[in-house]
Chains A and B, each alone.
Chain A
Amino acid sequence: QQQVKQSPQSLIVQKGGISIINCAYENTAFDYFPWYQQFPGKGPALLIAIRPDVSEKKEGRFTISFNKSAKQFSLHIMDSQPGDSATYFCAARRRDAGNMLTFGGGTRLMVKP
């Protein structure tokens, strides 16, 4: 059973545009929601994260919006740049499971110049 569902699978955005990636989860035991960025041949790197008691978190061009009642969260990348082209994963942590992460299926983002 896929506990974290991510959409879209792929996304093409023009330079300067807004990239939006959505995730939904099922398990209410999740208590921390990070987003990872992965470039080819590299491991995932933490981008930004949010706790469920906060509805929005912004770091530079990256913003997470969180809707606890709907069990959904999303990543917004403002002023998207070609260097943002990568695969993005949402994830959810169960602290009672030793910080184990459950990942979404990933979104391959391409930002066109």
Chain B
Amino acid sequence: GAGVSQSPRYKVAKRGQDVALRCDPISGHVSLFWYQQALGQGPEFLTYFQNEAQLDKSGLPSDRFFAERPEGSVSTLKIQRTQQEDSAVYLCASSPDRGVFGYTFGSGTRLTVV
């Protein structure tokens, strides 16, 4: 596709509910990143894939957060037993090659936990 596509754009979840956020990267992009952006703050790194391999998950806040990219293209970020502090915009970005800086962000999914 022309850009990074994320769905849904908005998600309201009741506390304790599980959610799944989808990211469709730019076709052919090797690297995929997830960031969390709290209101009024800069994005913070969550996790990074190179193709289907999750090479860094050091930014995931807790074991309730899980990400996968099974075929090296679409990625899903799953949050189990959501809590109010999980409310944020979740941004996905893709990049064509590890050695090339061509980061493109999607518009994000705004998650509100009530």
A residues near B (Cβ < 8 Å) are 6, 32, 34, 36, 41-46, 49, 89, 91, 93, 97-106
Contacts and interface: CB of A to CB of B under 8 A. Distances in A.
B18 interface: no
A41 B105 CA distance: 12
Contacts of A91: 42
Interface in B54-98: 55-56, 91, 93, 95, 98
Nearest to A41: B107
Interface residues of B, number: 25
A5 to B, nearest CB: 11
B105 A93 contact: no
Given A99-B31, A105-B41, A106-B40, A44 B105 contact: yes
Q: Which of B35, B44, B45, B101 has the most CB of A within 10 A?
A: B101
A43 B56 contact: no
Contacts of A32: 101
Contacts of A104: 42
22 contacts: A6-B42, A32-B101, A34-B101, A36-B105, A42-B107, A43-B4, A43-B91, A43-B107, A43-B108, A44-B43, A89-B43, A93-B101, A97-B56, A98-B56, A98-B98, A99-B33, A99-B98, A99-B101, A100-B33, A101-B43, A104-B42, A105-B42
A99 B91 contact: no
Interface centre among A34, A45, A49, A103 (most CB of B within 10 A): A103
Contacts of A99: 31, 33, 48, 95, 98, 101, 103
Nearest to B100: A99
Contacts of B91: 43-44
Contacts of B50: 98
Nearest to A32: B101
